[in-house]
Amino acid sequence: MAVTLADIADRVGVTQATVSMVLNKAPSSVRISERTRQKIFQVAEELNYTPSFVARSLVKGRTFTLGLLMGGIESAHHAEVTTLVLEEAEACGYRVLLAVTEWSHEKELECLDMLVHHRVDGILLGSHALRSGTRQYEYITSQHVPIVLLGYSEEFACAYSDWKPGMTQTLDFLTKKGYSRIGYLHSDTSGFTDFKQMDLKEVCQRFGLALKQYTCEPNQADCARCGRQFARTDQGPDVMIVQSDFMATGFMRGLYDQGLQVPRDLAVVGCDGTNAGEFFVPPITSIAQDCRVLIKGAVELLVEMIGNRNVPKRKVSVATRLIVRGSA
């Protein structure tokens, strides 16, 4: 089908091996007559030769492919994360096989299997699937499959945002503006610890502030429902911190449906600091992650682990900060 090294070798009158060397090694490190080298390149060009990564992968035992597992990419933040992974991976010479799990625990495990079947060199876990006890967990730990989690983890190497600085800035800002009754809306479906929440709690305590918690599903529709309900019944918070900008948009829609105005009737602070938040009406005040740095750190860590499987499980932490826009 496609043209192979052998085709070139035949035409030039040398062996595959020679062609392989000439084409792949640094010109200095391979000793060959200038005539032959020229001819090889010329014939490769003529024949439109394209090296097969799959053959190379087989022999090298590496695919130069990273697996990326995301719960979903419909929110601007997750789309940004995905894009950055793609960019950073490429910068390190890797391709990425993307799998989205729709936040289903079962599907996450299936996708993990798929990535292993494909022999990706490492896995970036954007959805927190891996718990001890599953076959996949055992496999990955026992085989030392390089893996880094996007988010905090005790068990694996990971890259996560440190929410404390951002939360501190936020409470500082809010209290100075006269807000004092803090609400926190988050989704509780994953079954995993919400470290963001823990940080917020801690910081609230430091400020001597109570925290009223709300939960809903991590989709816009349910956040909107929650917003409507809040508007109809709640007399508590004067500011709502929402787990993500994405969820904040849903929540705000619910508020509007009931005639509430943001920030006049209720201030809203999102999380993630997505670019898109700036274009919402009103623009969303948000505790921003430094995604670029975070993902760069994650990918580089993963690549390092691929290069040397004995590198200790590091944790990359990146500070957050408050971006004040219009919603608070």
Partner DNA sequence: CTGAAAGCGCTAACAG
Partner DNA sequence: CTGTTAGCGCTTTCAG
The verdict on 193 binding DNA (CB under 7 A) reads no
Of 44, 130, 241, 252, which one interacts with a second copy (CB under 8 A)?
252
Q: Is 304 helix (H, G, I), strand (E, B) or coil?
A: helix
Query: With CB cut-offs between 5 and 8 Å by kind, which of a second copy, DNA, none does residue 4 bind?
Result: DNA
Q: If we measure between CA atoms, which residue out of 246, 251, 244 comes closest to residue 287? A: 244
Residue type, position 255, single letter? L
Unique residue bearing structure tokens 């740095």? 293
CB of 112 to DNA, least distance (A): 18
Q: Is position 116 an interface residue for a second copy (rule: CB under 8 A)?
A: yes
Q: Does 4 bind DNA (CB under 7 A)?
A: yes
Nearer to a second copy, 227 or 297 (CB): 227
207 binds, among DNA, a second copy, none (CB under 5 to 8 A by kind): none
Instruction: Name the H helices within the chain.
Output: 5-12, 16-24, 34-47, 53-60, 76-91, 105-117, 135-142, 163-176, 195-207, 220-233, 245-257, 291-307
Binding partner selected for residue 16 from DNA, a second copy, none, CB under the kind-specific 5 to 8 Å limit: DNA
Q: Which of 191, 184, 157 is nearest to 310 (CA)?
A: 157
Minimum gap (Å) between residue 48 Cβ and DNA: 12
Tell me how far apart the alpha carbons of residues 25 and 21 are, in angstroms, rounded to a whole number. 5
How many other CB atoms are there within 10 angstroms of residue 117's CB atom?
Answer: 8
As given in the structure block, the two tokens for residue 247 are 């969820």
Rounded CA separation 70/204 (Å): 31
Q: Which residues contact 21 (CB under 8 A, 6 or more apart)?
A: 30, 32
Please state whether beta strands 239-242 and 95-100 pair in parallel, antiparallel, or not at all (unpaired): unpaired
**Residues touching DNA: how many (CB under 7 A)?**
28
- Does residue 325 bind a second copy (CB under 8 A)? no
Of residues 11, 39, 56, 314, which one binds DNA by CB under 7 A?
Answer: 56
Helices and strands (H and E) in the chain: how many: 12, 12
Beta pairing partners, 200: none
**Binding residues among 59-78 for DNA as defined by CB under 7 A:** 59-61
Ranges within 122-181 binding DNA (CB under 7 A)? none
Question: Residues 21, 114, 204, 260: which binds DNA (CB under 7 A)?
Answer: 21
Is 23 near DNA (CB under 7 A)? yes
> Does residue 26 interact with DNA by CB under 7 A?
no
Residue 236 CB, nearest distance to a second copy (Å)?
A: 23
Using the rule CB under 7 A, which residue among 55, 210, 221, 281 binds DNA? 55
Asked if 33 interacts with DNA (CB under 7 A), we say: yes
Q: Does the protein bind a second copy through residue 73 (CB under 8 A)?
A: yes
Residue from 11, 36, 180, 313 binding DNA (CB under 7 A): 36
Query: Least distance from C-beta 72 to a second copy, angstroms?
Result: 7
Q: Assess contact for 124 and 148: CB atoms under 8 A.
A: yes
Whether the Cβ atoms of residue 296 and residue 326 lie closer than 8 Å to each other: no
Are the beta carbons of 134 and 109 closer than 8 angstroms?
yes
Residues within the interface to a second copy (CB under 8 A): 1-2, 48, 50-55, 57-58, 61, 63, 65, 72-74, 76, 78-80, 82-83, 86, 95-100, 113-114, 116-119, 138-139, 142-143, 220, 224, 249-250, 252-253, 256, 275-276, 278-281, 283
Residues within the interface to DNA (CB under 7 A): 1-2, 4-6, 13-18, 20-21, 23-24, 30-33, 36, 51-52, 55-56, 58-61
